[in-house]
């Protein structure tokens, strides 16, 4: 087992998704004490707890809550902080895509998408960053999407939500930098097992063909960049976005 | 095209007779844009307007048809103007929804037109690098950038280009008055040491409207070199 996160307490929000599971397990393998948040998938979080126990030798604590609701998010952070005593790293992996042409989308789809992609991040980051500033250290890693940077047809609202997360993260990074807190983003392309599974076979094959590494992105591809940003190895990196696209997007 | 004109307060003029111009800013007249009329997306009481009705009304008055849409987006306030992040998230939602509705009716109208068509949003630079005192404005401007990039890809099959001009310090367009200190700071930080001229904005609009599909999904920064 590696030790780059040894002694660090890491809260993974959205731990039962494909990316969340990989990042939680990855952080545990690096020596972190992982705390898990989930919304509704109790079976998945139990399975993840078992995996972490088998890998890292401890049973992580899990917390349920709907972080799209500000009061619940505040309550979650309060409970986590009280239980853990401190949180060194926050990893946000919550999001949801609405796929449709602008012609068919409805105004209420804007609110739904912003709530599930932006509000979920802001509702957690705001109370967490205040506490991290008080303790004088912390690292936040928000999982956005390459769609937020370069767009994707039929995903104008998802792109808007993920781009908003990036811009918010940069603004927050500037705000809390002097208190020792860093904020960064990951921007992966669609992940196998996640959004990639909802793509048509032809589109998926085209994307793989156009990706210089000739592969689709896997959730595990996010682990090393997330660990790097989360730990002490990147003290001068904040307000940054790392593309994880196998060379598909190089600008 | 941009040309010098004595009847414009800023000494410049651009004719946008085939452009659906949308702006809530009264200061838009300071730019010297000649157009049939200016549509709003919020009423003067700050209520969201039905943009289909607004566009229909414009089309009835327009004699030269609609080939382009030019949408000036409001800048959101600094965070301390809101009572916490829940309040500013609601404002981001409200403004993003109204810009989306404006884009939606513009896309439906322009996709069916023949010839060179474009949609240009004018926003601020907060969404690119983030501003610590205004996470709301940063998130909102960022959302607009993400939205136009996806839409540009989606609408390219209809020969409809969609771009965004991100403006730094340009008082004539009016960054929210509550952001004055940020605006002054922007001017000081600008490499050229001055505000962006209205003429530069008019030139950028003209360029984007005449570039066909060569330029789409782009964010053009008019910030005097601030974000080099």
Q: What is the pLDDT of residue B63?
A: 82
Q: What is the pLDDT of residue B173?
A: 53
- What residues in B contact A166, CB-CB < 8 Å? 142, 146
Q: What is the pLDDT of residue B218?
A: 97
From residue A100, give the alpha-carbon distance in Å to each of A94, A96, A158, A204.
20, 13, 10, 17
* Pure H helices in chain A: 18-29, 42-56, 70-84, 107-114, 120-135, 147-150, 156-176, 201-210, 223-230
Among partner residues B97, B138, B152, which is closest to A167 by beta-carbon distance? B138
B197 φψ region: left (φ > 0), alpha (ψ -120 to 50), beta (else): beta
CB atoms A171 and B97 under 8 Å = no
Closest Cα in chain A to B154: A153
Among partner residues A110, A155, A175, which is closest to B150 by beta-carbon distance? A155
Tell me what the pLDDT averaged over chain B comes to.
85
CB atoms B104 and A105 under 8 Å = yes
Spatial CA neighbour of B169 closest among B179, B157, B154, B158 = B179
Mean pLDDT of B166-190: 60
Q: What is the pLDDT of residue B180?
A: 55
Q: Which of residues 14-43 of A touch B (CB under 8 A)?
A: none
Tell me if B111 sits within 8 A of B156, measured CB to CB: no
- Predicted TM-score of the model (pTM): 0.93
- What residues in B contact A163, CB-CB < 8 Å? 127, 142-143, 145-147, 149
User: From CA A163, how far away is CA A165, in angstroms rounded?
Assistant: 5
Q: From the DSSP assignment, how many helices (H) and strands (E) are in chain B? A: 6, 9
CB atoms B130 and A171 under 8 Å = yes
Tell me what the pLDDT averaged over chain A comes to.
94
Tell me if A96 sits within 8 A of A116, measured CB to CB: yes
CB atoms A163 and B138 under 8 Å = no
Closest Cα in chain B to A172: B132
- What residues in B contact A168, CB-CB < 8 Å? 130, 135, 138-139, 142
Q: What is the pLDDT of residue A215?
A: 87
> Cβ-count burial of B85 within 10 angstroms (0-12 exposed, 13-18 middle, 19+ buried)?
buried
> What are B20's two structure tokens?
């659906």
Mean pLDDT of B54-78: 91
Q: At what angle do helices A42-56 and A18-29 cross, to 10 degrees?
A: 20
Q: What is the pLDDT of residue A192?
A: 85
Mean pLDDT of B9-29: 78
pLDDT digits (tens, 9 = 90+) for B116-152: 899 999 998 899 999 888 999 999 999 999 999 999 9
Tell whether A152 is within 8 A of chain B (Cβ).
yes
Does the pLDDT at position A148 exceed 80? yes
CB atoms B142 and A155 under 8 Å = no
Does the pLDDT at position B10 exceed 80? no
Lowest mean pLDDT among A60-64, B11-15, B37-41, B128-132: B11-15
Assembly ipTM: 0.94
Among partner residues B93, B139, B150, which is closest to A153 by beta-carbon distance? B150
β partners of residue B13 = B3
Tell whether A173 is within 8 A of chain B (Cβ).
yes
Side-chain half-sphere exposure of B190, counting CA atoms within 13 A: 22
Which of B87, B127, B146 to probe the A interface (max A CBs under 10 A)? Answer: B146
Residue B174: φ, ψ to 5° = 85, 80
CB atoms B145 and A163 under 8 Å = yes
Among partner residues B103, B134, B143, which is closest to A171 by beta-carbon distance? B134
* Three-state DSSP state, B56: helix
Q: Which of residues 97-136 of A touch B (CB under 8 A)?
A: 101-103, 105, 107, 110-111, 114-115, 118-119, 122-123, 126
> What are A73's two structure tokens?
């998010």
């Amino acid at each position: 087992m590696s030790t780059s996160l040894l002694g660090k307490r890491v809260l993974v929000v959205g731990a039962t998704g494909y990316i969340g599971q990989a990042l939680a397990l990855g952080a545990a393998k690096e020596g972190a004490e992982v705390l898990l948040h989930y919304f509704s998938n109790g079976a998945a979080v139990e399975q993840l707890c078992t995996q972490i126990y088998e890998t890292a030798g401890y049973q992580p604590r899990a917390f349920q809550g709907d972080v799209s609701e500000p009061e619940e998010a505040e309550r979650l952070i309060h409970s986590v902080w009280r239980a853990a005593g401190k949180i060194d790293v926050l990893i946000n992996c919550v999001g949801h895509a609405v796929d449709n042409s602008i012609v068919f989308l409805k105004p209420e789809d804007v609110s739904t998408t912003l709530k599930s992609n932006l509000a979920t991040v802001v509702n957690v980051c705001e109370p967490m960053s205040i506490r991290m500033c008080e303790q004088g250290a912390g690292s936040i890693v928000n999982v956005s999407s390459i769609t937020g940077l370069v767009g994707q047809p039929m995903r104008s609202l998802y792109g808007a939500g993920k781009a908003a997360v990036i811009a918010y993260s940069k603004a927050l990074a500037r705000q809390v930098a002097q208190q020792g807190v860093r904020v960064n983003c990951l921007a992966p392309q669609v992940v196998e097992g996640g959004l990639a599974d909802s793509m048509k076979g032809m589109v998926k094959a085209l994307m793989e063909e156009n990706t210089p590494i000739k592969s689709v992105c896997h959730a595990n591809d996010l682990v090393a960049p997330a660990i790097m940003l989360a730990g002490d190895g990147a003290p001068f990196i904040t307000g940054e976005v790392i593309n994880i696209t196998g060379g598909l997007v190089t600008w | 095209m941009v040309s010098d004109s004595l009847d414009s307060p800023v000494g410049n003029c651009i004719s946008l007779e085939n452009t659906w111009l949308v702006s809530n800013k009264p200061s838009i007249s300071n730019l010297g844009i000649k157009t049939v009329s200016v549509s709003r997306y919020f009423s003067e009481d700050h209520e969201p307007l039905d943009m289909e009705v607004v566009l229909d009304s414009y089309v009835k008055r327009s004699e030269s048809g609609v080939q382009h849409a030019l949408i000036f987006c409001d800048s959101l306030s600094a965070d301390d103007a809101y009572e916490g992040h829940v309040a500013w998230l609601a404002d981001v939602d409200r403004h993003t929804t109204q810009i989306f509705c404006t884009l939606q009716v513009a896309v439906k109208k322009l996709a069916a037109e023949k010839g060179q068509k474009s949609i240009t949003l004018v926003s601020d630079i907060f969404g690119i690098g983030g501003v610590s005192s205004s996470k709301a404005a940063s998130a909102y401007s960022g959302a607009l950038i993400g939205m136009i990039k996806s839409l540009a890809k989606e609408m390219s099959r209809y020969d409809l280009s969609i771009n965004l001009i991100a403006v730094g310090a340009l008082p004539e367009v009016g960054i929210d008055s509550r952001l004055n200190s940020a605006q002054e700071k922007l001017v000081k930080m600008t490499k050229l040491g001055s505000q962006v001229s209205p003429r530069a904005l008019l030139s950028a609009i003209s360029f984007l409207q005449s570039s066909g599909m060569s330029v789409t999904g782009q964010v053009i920064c008019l910030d005097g070199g601030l974000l080099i």
